[in-house]
Amino acid sequence: MAGADLLVLPSYREGFGLVVVEAAGCGLPTLAYEIDGVVDAVESNATGVLVPLRDVDALTRQMEFMAGHSDYVKRLGLTARQRVVEKFTATAVGNAWLSFYNQFI
């Protein structure tokens, strides 16, 4: 991923989309279909771009657009990286679990 500018994930089904979080950790935004799991990992137009499921034309148009707008892609990637640090590091996830369990104690 270190040599990439963008993760394109044309999957029709994902459990959570951990590859999206891994890419974001490397500063890469994601272009993907709006599917369960991925919608939890990508904030459309903030950390990547989501297009309607099975809309190959929309996916193609976004790939072409992003190929010609590197500043936009870089900005999405920076936001994606920031979101991973805030929400998906071991510390962030551990704190979220602690907060959850503390509701019941």
Residue 55 lies in a domain: yes
pTM of the model: 0.90
Write out pLDDT tens, residues 8-25. Answer: 999 999 988 899 999 999
Residue 1 lies in a domain: no
DSSP-assigned letter for residue 104: T
- Mean pLDDT along residues 18-35: 97
* Mean pLDDT for all residues in the chain: 96
Rg (CA), the chain: 15
Give residue 35's identity as a one-letter amino acid code: I
24 contacts 47 by C-beta, under 8 angstroms: yes
What is residue 36's three-state secondary structure? coil
Q: Which residues contact 80 (CB under 8 A, 6 or more apart)?
A: 23, 24, 27, 28, 29, 30, 42, 47, 48
Domain count within the chain: 1
Residue 2 lies in a domain: no
For residue 34, give its domain range: 7-102
Write out pLDDT tens, residues 61-71. Answer: 999 999 999 99
